[in-house]
Amino acid sequence: MQLQSLKKNVVRTVAANKRAAEQSCLSLLEACDARCKFVQLQAHILKLGLRNNPLVLTKFAAISSELNAVDYASSFVFSPDADSRLYDAFLFNTVIRAYAQTGDLKEKALVLYNAMLRCGVLPNKFTYPFALKACAGLGSLSLGQTVHGSAVKFGFDDDVHVQNTMIHMYCCCGSGVKYARKMFDEMPKRDSVSWSAMIGGYVRLGLSTDAVDLFRRMQIAGVHPDEITMVSVLSACTDLGALELGKWVESYIEREGIQKNVELCNALIDMFAKCGDVDKALKLFRNMSGKTIVSWTSVIVGLAMHGRGSEAVSLFEEMIRNGTVPDNVAFIGLLSACSHSGLVDKGKGYFSLMTKEYQIVPKMEHYGCMADMLCRAGLVNEAVAFVQKMPVEPNPVILRTLVSACRAHGKLRLGETISKSLISNEPTHESNYVLLSNIYAKMSRWENKTKIRKMMGKKGMKKTPGSTMIELDNEIYEFVAGDKSHKQYKEIYDMVDEMGREMKRAGYVPSTSEVLLDIDEEDKEDALNRHSEKLAIAFALLNTPPGTPIRIVKNLRVCSDCHSATKFISKIYNREIVVRDRNRFHHFMDGLCSCKDFW
DNA sequence: ATAGGGTTAG
């Protein structure tokens, strides 16, 4: 073997020439891969007397990161019997980088950074991107600020690489985004990476409108975006559900000749699928070369969201035939496809394929998909038994799935029990109370329902307000329940009232039991009519020509009253209405929904 | 000799 002969070569030359030994040892380290025994290498270094050779140690540390042996290498390199006078910045940088890249050892990168300063080794311009990346991974604003201060002290804060990493780091530290923006605004010279870091940061924080605004400013500033910038911009479109904007971005990419690499194609596929045009996503997917597991998963998830489960399943089968090995994310997509389309037996089969054939240890999300699948299919008892048999404690998300199913399928006592335990475990989570209240409503135990409402008021819970977005003439409009901020609000409310009258004539019954407020029935109807979905639909009916499809995006799950109302509206006003909610798409047409009331 | 920003689920 090549490795064997290299080793012999090292041993031969070591006696003759120390310099040649170093070179040979470096080549040996270079040739080392996962098959090579890391420990043997270490013994070799000792045997050759290169224990304190910084170059060899650096190479040793660099290789360790690919073998997930950073901790081991670090303890060898920086052991007490090593000669610390030989440590240099390159060596520290290498180990700091290795730690910064490692999943759960990022804090050690900063420990080493501090050790470096204590040893009197001066950091250089490469040190800061590594150390800041560790802070970003930890999401620790205070650590980031300390390292930032240190970079200023040593005079590396005017380097554009360092500044860009700082923007990235501050964006990864939640409340740090304002510091990121401040740095960004004060930079004397911003390159495309600076813009991408800031735009990408906004997207990750869910501030997608800010991301789009910044992209517009980037164009005004005359900085040419590259494929990485465009991935973030597309991600913002996906988040906003802004199909028109997304289409514009696609044509912009073509026009500007931006290279459509695999990642950019994946982002385009994801955008089209999640903005409602899954057929376009499929077309792009078919035409792209170099498909990765991400490409397959994106399109499988896209089909699942549109209720096209069996297509998702055949695509998964095709992927396996193509030799792409599914990972745990692909299985989450596949299982959710089965769940959304009622393919219970298929789902069970794939769950066991995943664990047995692919040796993937199921995570909470996989269990969640299975519980969800059984619940949707009305197999509540089986779902409960499944959850009890799980080797891990179910998380609140799974328990809430069970409670909803209990309510839908009349297992009210059980639902009440689970729901009460949820409230005691998670007393500040609003939806736990809503679930219990809905169960009481179904049991007609109104006094209990009132009690729940009072409890909620006392706890002062912050409620995620439902909001609905709609795109019209290159603008994105957002509505919240009872919104009166819009210029047209009077017309919108008149339209909502008219819609209500027409729907009632057609047989719509408002589901006032969904309303948690303790108000009389008429006011409850009023509250339902002011839901953000209905405001957005009224706005669209007013401002778009008859017959054009209406696309709206809801931030939460669509409520059952709005779901049934939208069916009536699609028929009465002869409109196709496409609703994207938190989980999936609903295509309403002629009084029916594509989800077949199965969501 | 070592550097910065990105994609799939929940």
A117 contact to strand B (CB, 7 A limit): no
DSSP A312-343: HHHHHHHHHHTTPPP-HHHHHHHHHHHHHTT-
| Helix, strand, or coil (residue A176) | helix
A102 contact to strand B (CB, 7 A limit): no
pLDDT at residue A590, rounded to an integer: 96
pLDDT tens track for A346-362: 999 999 999 999 999 99
Nucleotide nearest to A100 (CA to C1'): B3
Q: And the tokens for A24?
A: 């040979």
- CA torsion sign, A167 to A173 to A175 to A176? negative
Report the pLDDT averaged over residues A159-187: 96
Nucleotide nearest to A397 (CA to C1'): B10
φ, ψ for residue A142, nearest 5 deg: -70, -40
Whether A178 has a pLDDT exceeding 90, the answer reads yes
A264 contact to strand B (CB, 7 A limit): yes
Q: What residue is closest to B8 (Cα–C1')?
A: A294
Rounded to whole angstroms, the distance from the CA of residue A184 to the C1' of nucleotide B5 is 13
Whether A546 has a pLDDT exceeding 60, the answer reads yes
A262 contact to strand B (CB, 7 A limit): yes
Strand duo A550-554 + A467-472: pairing = antiparallel
Q: What residue is closest to B1 (Cα–C1')?
A: A90
The model's confidence at residue A332, banded by pLDDT at 50, 70 and 90, is very high
Whether A10 has a pLDDT exceeding 50, the answer reads no
How far is A318 from A585, CA to CA, in rounded Å?
24
pLDDT at residue A444, rounded to an integer: 79
A303 contact to strand B (CB, 7 A limit): no
Q: And the tokens for A16?
A: 């003759």
Nucleotide nearest to A295 (CA to C1'): B8
pLDDT at residue A559, rounded to an integer: 86
How far is A437 from A425, CA to CA, in rounded Å?
17
pLDDT at residue A462, rounded to an integer: 60
Asked if residues A446 and A440 have their Cβ atoms less than 8 Å apart, the reply is: yes
In chain A, where the domains are located: 421-459, 467-593
Report the pLDDT averaged over residues A229-247: 97
User: Most confidently modeled of A60-64, A267-271, A434-438?
Assistant: A267-271
Q: Find where tokens 């007490």 sit.
A: A80
What strands, in cross-sheet order, belong to the sheet with A475-480?
A: A475-480, A467-472, A550-554, A577-580, A585-589, A592-593
How far is A513 from A148, CA to CA, in rounded Å?
54
Residues of chain A (189-208) having a beta carbon less than 7 angstroms from strand B: 191-194, 196-197, 200, 203-204
Rounded to whole angstroms, the distance from the CA of residue A226 to the C1' of nucleotide B10 is 30
A260 contact to strand B (CB, 7 A limit): no
Whether A389 has a pLDDT exceeding 60, the answer reads yes
Q: And the tokens for A468?
A: 């609905």
How far is A550 from A547, CA to CA, in rounded Å?
9
pLDDT tens track for A298-309: 999 999 999 999
Rounded to whole angstroms, the distance from the CA of residue A327 to the C1' of nucleotide B2 is 32
Task: List % helix, strand, coil for chain A (3-state, nearest 5).
Answer: 65, 5, 30
pLDDT tens track for A446-502: 888 888 877 777 776 766 788 999 999 988 999 998 888 889 999 999 999 999 999
Q: What is the distance of C-alpha A127 from the center of its chain?
A: 29
A161 contact to strand B (CB, 7 A limit): yes
| Helix, strand, or coil (residue A477) | strand
A292 contact to strand B (CB, 7 A limit): yes
Rounded to whole angstroms, the distance from the CA of residue A125 to the C1' of nucleotide B3 is 8
Rounded to whole angstroms, the distance from the CA of residue A285 to the C1' of nucleotide B2 is 37
Which chain B positions come under 7 Å from a protein C-beta? 1-10
